[in-house]
Chain A
Amino acid sequence: MFVPLRSKFTQRIATQRVATPFRILWASVLAFSYLFAFPHPFARSQQQDTAKFFEERIRPVLLEHCIACHGPDKSESGLRLDRPELFRQGGESGALVEAQKPVESLLLQALRHEGLEMPPNKKLPDEQIEAFEAWVSAGALWPEYVQELTVATDRDKIRQVDREYWFFQPLSDPAVPSLGYTNPIDAFVAQKLQAQGLSLGQNADESVLVRRLYLDLLGVPPTFDELQEYLASPSPDAAEGQGTEGQSAVGQSAVGQGRYERLVDKLLDDPRYGERSGRFWLDLVRFAESDGFKQDDFRPSAYRYRDYVVSAFNQDIPYSQFIAEQLAGDELDPTSDRMNAATGYLRHWIYEYNQRDVRSHWDNILNDLTDVTGEALLGLGFSCARCHDHKFDPLLQKDYYRLQAFFAPIEPRYDIPSDATSLEARREKLEAWLECAEPVRTELELLERETRTKVVEAAIEKFPPDVRPALRKAQDQREPEERSIAVLAYLQIANELKGLDFSKKLKGQELAQWKYWKKHEEELKKGMPKEPEMSLTVRDIGSRAPKVTIVGRASAGEVHPETPSVLGDRYPLEVQSQGESTGRRLALARWITDPSNPLAWRVIVNRLWQHHFGRGLVANASDFGRLGEPPTHPELLDFLAQQMIEQGGRFKSLHRLMVTSQTYRQSSYPHERAQGQAIDPENRWLWRFAPRRLDADQIRDSILVVSGTIDPRSGGASDASDSNRRSIYQRVMRNSPNAFLATFDAPDASVSVARRNTTTTSLQSLFLTNSTWMVRKSEGYAKRILSESPSTRLRIEMMFRQTLLREPSDEEVRWIEASIEEQGTSDPLGAWSDACQALWNTSEFLYIE
């Protein structure tokens, strides 16, 4: 039995004490728990349930709390709990489990601290005790396969097969298959296709291809004129008589600097490229401009992060720089506006303005940063390892906290101007005003001080008792663990001060004085320069980091910022503190994008591939572990990663490589498609270009372009209500999403999204045919058509050219004519508006092919 801490006598008393009423209560709890523990609506055997229950609820507790004293090392009181037969045998105090009266089992009494008290220092949480009650009631069964519980060391937990998993291996240097293709992508793809008995299909029609390229790189279709200009431009292909349509791909030589390649370069240089490419990144980091939660407060400077991303893509900065600036811009250059904008990456978490449990809130914030970084940058589902070792991948719970330890030293800051440059220009004015205001403010401060102190003290009392001492300390006296919690608490306290009305708090002469000075202040305020906008950024609390421990396992000791265990020292990481910063985040950023570390490079090139082909070479773009799918083209994946590294980690070269490939230029509907359909209906081997619906931003932006209403201004603060600017500039409020974008599957910005869902719903159809937005746009467009073209035929042609980039067929002309006629002459605007809408509702318009 467990060590008897009390004499037999007190033990008996204790047992008596819990006699009747409690017993009855417990009996019913147990009966109920029993039902809970084994509810068998499941199509699963009793054995499986026993095993599941044991593994999830019993084994971890035995391991963590019991076998250190009652195991192979100590076996105190002659009791060992590490083997089923020893468990059944019991210890010096007898059997642990009463088969006849499970409720009275010694084991349960000890856990409930009735008499015996186990674990001796601290009672287990109720849930765990309940689990044991259920388990004992059901016979305290051990799964048959369990012979011994051993405390596995981290090293033991990682198996050789884990270390050999493909994703953790260094990048290979695959030879390009020599199949006569100039673009290596085609060689890799063709090789796989050949193995399936398939081949690359014919090229898409040029106007289809140009539209595809515009939508892909810029997010909007070309205008009809742009398309015509392209088709009229000189082309080496044309000179060599190589029309693309209908031509067999095999053996076709690449085309050098043809007009298509020139177009690719032109589009990559177009500033709209950043607006398009930045989109997937913003989804990935759950970018939003509001807090989420109840208040959903607006974050006025959040847009600067969006602008940073757009400009980073347009400037084609290296991926390593891109990551370092977002993770550790403050450690690179704390004085730079650009860095303060980039570190917005660390501030996109949801924030609850009235969460009294600031400790849990901060934990959630760190969890969120850990989850997003694990998924978005490392392509691993770290969140699965938050509460336990990952069930499928070799990520230990400890690894989760190792990653978290890089972020643990951060402190959100609210006092760093987002635009130091313009502030500098206004500095004199600001200082002059402050100087002028100072005497007044000093007087007010003196009068208000006492009330303020009282209010702050009362506000502190509203926080849980264990948090209060930290709040009463001066900032520099706080322990590292207390710093960010205090920040969260003081945001709430500041809110209370904001609402404070001193005219109701002060009395007599003080009140009179206060009113006098207040009036002065009001006067002064009229001339007050605009308050500077503060950036959404963080700093480390200092060079000393807070201690990170595994949640619920603090006794296991501090967890340091290190790489996942499975990697061993394969890709080493070293943290060096940076002055007032721990340097942890910079070290992480450097490690993530170190050319020798393959993880992030595979992940990012796969994202680009998905961006262009709709589906990544690894289908689950944020999970390269065993739960995802293995890559369809592993050699190509590594080849692309190597390419990107060789190109200095720049995106544009990769885009260029991809979109100039034959693979990308294929038709969606090749003439010869029976075989592809039969062998590979899902197009995993890329025998055609998979068509896909435009995403929310593309649909909205396309209609703005086609209807001629687009407002081309880029960057800057977002538009609060729906405007004619591109979708990326519409305000992202988490609780009130833009109706258009949400209807077409734009993410809700609460978690990292690697790939948007694409749905087809009747609500979308209703939106596109009935919403005010659509009616306004189509009426505006109809007006233009009516004024610009004199005849029905010409109007129809204009509509088709501008919307679908082609001439209408005779049949289509007849349909539209009939539709217009059907509605009579009373409302030509309505009739034409409907016709425009109809074109914008076509699959031809809503899909890339």
Chain B
Amino acid sequence: MDLQIPSSRRSMLQDAGFGFGLLALQALLCQNRVLGLDPDPTKSTTHKTHHPAKAKSIIFLFMEGGPSHIDLFDPKPRLEQLAGQPLPPSFKPIITPMGEYNAPLMPSKRAWKQHGNSGTWVSDWLPHTAQHVDDLAVIRSCWGNGLNHSNGVCQMNSGSTLGGRPSLGSWVTYGLGTENESLPAFVVIEDDDGKVINGPRNWSAGFMPAAYQGTALHSNGDPIRHLSTPTPTSPQRQDSKRKLIDALNRKHQASRSIDSELEARIRSYELAYRMQSQAPEAIDLAQESHSTLQLYGIDEKETSVFGRNCLMARRLVERGVRFVQLYHGSGSRWDAHSGIEKNHSSLCRASDRPIAGLLTDLKQRGLLDSTLVIWGGEFGRTPMSEKGDGRDHNSNGFTMWMAGGGVRGGQTIGSTDEIGLHAVEDRLHVHDLHATILHLIGLNHWDLVYSHQGRPERATQNEGRVCTKILA
């Protein structure tokens, strides 16, 4: 199937008939190739993985603002002894954005326990997640280069602290395409009120065609922007408009069959039409049983917002959406520069049960094997206090966890130093995390190449190593 040649592409489309195959869509939607200019994404969008992989979808639970690893997954008894002292000279100092260079070290106030058969440490802030530790691979040795939220979130999404590069979801979509063309392949759900730092730039396709960018899904109103008209119109009227557009375009296209892009445009209206019915259905939680709603904590005020988002994520994954990114605490709400007790208590409370519910639900539906679930923020927090009762940003060492498709659960990987400042053992840079995530979904980060302005670009910027320990 040589999609470079429009005529053969066209015949391929004809063969596939009215609802042409899943595979062709992405190819068609990136029309630059009609002019033979851009790299041919069809080569990668034949939707074949580079190697067999269990995970088919990814749910990335992004705790925005930087959750404190040393209060959640990485206990540091040494901090008790050093409490109140400045950072001992034996530790390499870091740049702290708020500049409290001599702030005293602050131990965690949490109660810690080992859980499950694996004995994974989790603090009492996450009692529900703690029940799933045997499914989790907790990585305590992540590190990145983002000093502030903006560059941290940007790097966790795109690999670079500066903008302009495609988001990980775009790379996955580019590599694997979609399994349900009536829904976007890469979906982003923000919290109810906050706006994620950097805005849509986080899920942008960077230098790739916009077909690979993330689509923001909203739980109120139109789930996808412009899914319906500003004032409701009757389905007949919508249908009449659609038919008219279709008739005019088909007539125009008939004498211009050498340009398959025109067919793609006709097709885009059909897809939009199908999206209009399928997207609302995909996130319609009325179809869920009471016990499911309860499982996600949708029956309680504190957990209902994120619970709904988590449940939507499951429904989307069920329907073949490739990459779902849920932001929790959008607008850097995990950013506990002061009053970390209050801040993290309420955020943990709001997210813990929904996340546990998601894991339970995915598992009982047999979806966990094919879904990679990732938890983490853009960085962790400092063992040094800030403003007496908060913690500053720390990208030199922090925790993330992964579960599901292809992950060997019940293990803790890597470590930070005695106080949780620097990752020391099995250090995993964000590029390594990305390489690992791509590996788990069947893509090799060296072979996943997009040619931009003639240059071979990779998701990990020609770096990154797969963390093989995590693999089942």
Binding site for B on A (CB under 8 A): 25, 28-29, 32, 35-37, 39, 41-44, 126, 130, 292-294, 350, 352, 354-357, 364, 368, 375, 381, 384, 459, 461-465, 614-615, 619-623, 625, 627-629, 668-669, 673, 677, 681-684, 690-693, 734-737, 739, 742-743, 745, 748, 750-751, 753-755, 757-767, 769-772, 775, 811-812, 815-816, 819, 822-823, 830-831, 834-835, 837-839, 841-844, 846-847, 849
Q: Given the complex of chains A and B, what is the CA–CA distance between A703 and B19 in angstroms?
A: 31
Closest residue of chain B to A751 (Cβ to Cβ) is B164
The distance from the CB of B331 to the nearest CB of chain A, in whole angstroms, is 10
B467 touches A352 (CB 8 A): no
A748 touches B241 (CB 8 A): no
Q: Does B46 contact A (CB under 8 A)?
A: no
Q: Given the complex of chains A and B, what is the CA–CA distance between A355 and B99 in angstroms?
A: 11
**Chain B interface bracket (under 10, 10 to 19, 20 to 34, 35 or more):** 35 or more
Q: Given the complex of chains A and B, what is the CA–CA distance between A35 and B436 in angstroms?
A: 13
Q: Does B170 contact A (CB under 8 A)?
A: no
Closest residue of chain A to B239 (Cβ to Cβ) is A822
Closest residue of chain B to A765 (Cβ to Cβ) is B272
B271 touches A762 (CB 8 A): yes
Between A and B, 9 residue pairs with Cβ closer than 8 Å are: A37-B465, A41-B439, A463-B99, A742-B210, A762-B269, A815-B247, A819-B240, A838-B244, A843-B253
B150 touches A294 (CB 8 A): yes
Q: Given the complex of chains A and B, what is the CA–CA distance between A693 and B248 in angstroms?
A: 17
A745 touches B210 (CB 8 A): yes
Interfacial residues of chain B within 139-161, with CB under 8 A of chain A in the complex: 147-151
Q: Which of B149, B226, B467 interacts with A36 by CB under 8 Å?
A: B467
Q: With A677-B258, A759-B211, A839-B248 in contact, do A25 and B425 touch (Cβ < 8 Å)?
A: yes
- Enumerate the 4 nearest inter-chain pairs by beta-carbon distance, A residue then B residue, closest first: A462-B99, A682-B36, A750-B163, A627-B454
Q: Given the complex of chains A and B, what is the CA–CA distance between A846 and B206 in angstroms?
A: 24
A842 touches B36 (CB 8 A): no
Q: Does B78 contact A (CB under 8 A)?
A: no
Bitwise interface map of B from 410 to 437 toward A, beta carbon under 8 Å scored 1, else 0: 0000000000000001110000100000
The distance from the CB of A179 to the nearest CB of chain B, in whole angstroms, is 26
B255 touches A669 (CB 8 A): yes
Q: Given the complex of chains A and B, what is the CA–CA distance between A835 and B241 in angstroms?
A: 7
Residue in A37, A42, A737, A771 with the greatest tally of chain B CB atoms within 10 Å: A42
Q: Which of B5, B245, B456 interacts with A838 by CB under 8 Å?
A: B245
A763 contacts across to B, CB distance below 8 A: 184, 215, 224-226, 272
Given contacts A677-B7, A844-B248, could you give 17 more A-B pairs where the C-beta distance is less than 8 Å? A28-B425, A36-B432, A42-B446, A44-B446, A294-B198, A464-B95, A629-B454, A682-B34, A691-B259, A757-B30, A764-B268, A766-B224, A766-B225, A775-B229, A819-B240, A835-B244, A846-B265
- Tell me the number of A-to-B contacts counted with CB atoms below 8 Å: 277
The distance from the CB of A186 to the nearest CB of chain B, in whole angstroms, is 21
Q: With A43-B444, A762-B268 in contact, do A750 and B7 touch (Cβ < 8 Å)?
A: no
Binding site for A on B (CB under 8 A): 4-7, 28-32, 34-38, 50-51, 93, 95-101, 147-151, 162-164, 184, 197-201, 204, 206-211, 215, 224-231, 233, 236-237, 240-245, 247-249, 251-253, 255-256, 258-259, 261-262, 264-266, 268-269, 271-272, 275-276, 425-427, 432, 439, 444, 446-447, 453-456, 465-469
Q: Given the complex of chains A and B, what is the CA–CA distance between A758 and B199 in angstroms?
A: 22
A736 contacts across to B, CB distance below 8 A: 199-200
A748 touches B36 (CB 8 A): no
Q: Given the complex of chains A and B, what is the CA–CA distance between A830 and B241 in angstroms?
A: 11
The distance from the CB of B140 to the nearest CB of chain A, in whole angstroms, is 13
The distance from the CB of B44 to the nearest CB of chain A, in whole angstroms, is 14
Q: Which of B35, B184, B225, B230 interacts with A682 by CB under 8 Å?
A: B35
B249 touches A758 (CB 8 A): no
Q: With A757-B209, A834-B244, A838-B245 in contact, do A41 and B444 touch (Cβ < 8 Å)?
A: yes
A693 contacts across to B, CB distance below 8 A: 31, 261
B259 contacts across to A, CB distance below 8 A: 691
Q: With A761-B268, A770-B227, A846-B265 in contact, do A357 and B248 touch (Cβ < 8 Å)?
A: no
Q: Which of B209, B225, B255, B469 interacts with A32 by CB under 8 Å?
A: B469
Closest residue of chain A to B92 (Cβ to Cβ) is A126
B29 contacts across to A, CB distance below 8 A: 759-761
Q: With A760-B29, A760-B264, A844-B252 in contact, do A354 and B230 touch (Cβ < 8 Å)?
A: no
A735 contacts across to B, CB distance below 8 A: 198-201
A769 touches B237 (CB 8 A): no
B7 touches A39 (CB 8 A): no
Q: With A35-B468, A350-B162, A684-B36 in contact, do A294 and B197 touch (Cβ < 8 Å)?
A: yes
B31 contacts across to A, CB distance below 8 A: 693, 758-760
Q: Given the complex of chains A and B, what is the CA–CA distance between A775 and B233 in angstroms?
A: 12
B261 touches A812 (CB 8 A): no
The distance from the CB of B32 to the nearest CB of chain A, in whole angstroms, is 6
B50 contacts across to A, CB distance below 8 A: 41, 43
A842 contacts across to B, CB distance below 8 A: 245, 248-249, 252
B230 contacts across to A, CB distance below 8 A: 770-772, 775
Q: Given the complex of chains A and B, what is the CA–CA distance between A42 and B445 in angstroms?
A: 9
The distance from the CB of A753 to the nearest CB of chain B, in whole angstroms, is 8
B261 touches A751 (CB 8 A): no
Closest residue of chain A to B258 (Cβ to Cβ) is A677
Q: Given the complex of chains A and B, what is the CA–CA distance between A225 and B243 in angstroms?
A: 30
B37 contacts across to A, CB distance below 8 A: 615, 619, 755
B241 contacts across to A, CB distance below 8 A: 769, 819, 834, 837-838
Q: Given the complex of chains A and B, what is the CA–CA distance between A754 and B207 in angstroms?
A: 11
A621 contacts across to B, CB distance below 8 A: 453
B271 touches A765 (CB 8 A): yes
Q: Given the complex of chains A and B, what is the CA–CA distance between A127 and B314 in angstroms?
A: 39
Q: Which of A757, A771, A844 interacts with B226 by CB under 8 Å?
A: A771
B229 touches A32 (CB 8 A): no
B255 contacts across to A, CB distance below 8 A: 669
The distance from the CB of B347 to the nearest CB of chain A, in whole angstroms, is 19
B226 touches A759 (CB 8 A): no
Closest residue of chain B to A739 (Cβ to Cβ) is B225
B6 contacts across to A, CB distance below 8 A: 681
Q: Given the complex of chains A and B, what is the CA–CA distance between A763 and B211 in angstroms?
A: 9
Q: Given the complex of chains A and B, what is the CA–CA distance between A837 and B243 in angstroms?
A: 12
The distance from the CB of B64 to the nearest CB of chain A, in whole angstroms, is 12
A734 contacts across to B, CB distance below 8 A: 163, 201
B272 touches A356 (CB 8 A): no
Closest residue of chain B to A849 (Cβ to Cβ) is B256
Residue in A41, A772, A834 with the greatest tally of chain B CB atoms within 10 Å: A41
Q: Given the complex of chains A and B, what is the CA–CA distance between A837 and B241 in angstroms?
A: 8
B148 touches A354 (CB 8 A): yes
A629 contacts across to B, CB distance below 8 A: 454
Q: With A462-B98, A759-B31, A823-B236 in contact, do A350 and B163 touch (Cβ < 8 Å)?
A: yes
B244 touches A767 (CB 8 A): no
Q: Given the complex of chains A and B, what is the CA–CA distance between A846 and B261 in angstroms?
A: 12
B468 touches A834 (CB 8 A): no
Q: Given the complex of chains A and B, what is the CA–CA distance between A839 and B245 in angstroms?
A: 7
B210 contacts across to A, CB distance below 8 A: 742-743, 745, 757, 759, 761
A841 touches B245 (CB 8 A): yes
B184 contacts across to A, CB distance below 8 A: 763
Q: Given the complex of chains A and B, what is the CA–CA distance between A293 and B197 in angstroms?
A: 8
B467 contacts across to A, CB distance below 8 A: 36
A849 contacts across to B, CB distance below 8 A: 256
Closest residue of chain A to B426 (Cβ to Cβ) is A32
B163 touches A292 (CB 8 A): yes
B35 contacts across to A, CB distance below 8 A: 614-615, 682-683, 690, 692
A822 touches B249 (CB 8 A): no
B256 touches A669 (CB 8 A): yes
Q: Given the complex of chains A and B, what is the CA–CA distance between A450 and B148 in angstroms?
A: 31
A771 contacts across to B, CB distance below 8 A: 225-226, 230
B95 contacts across to A, CB distance below 8 A: 356-357, 464
B34 contacts across to A, CB distance below 8 A: 682
B209 touches A759 (CB 8 A): yes
Q: Given the complex of chains A and B, what is the CA–CA distance between A847 and B256 in angstroms?
A: 12
Q: Given the complex of chains A and B, what is the CA–CA distance between A293 and B163 in angstroms?
A: 8
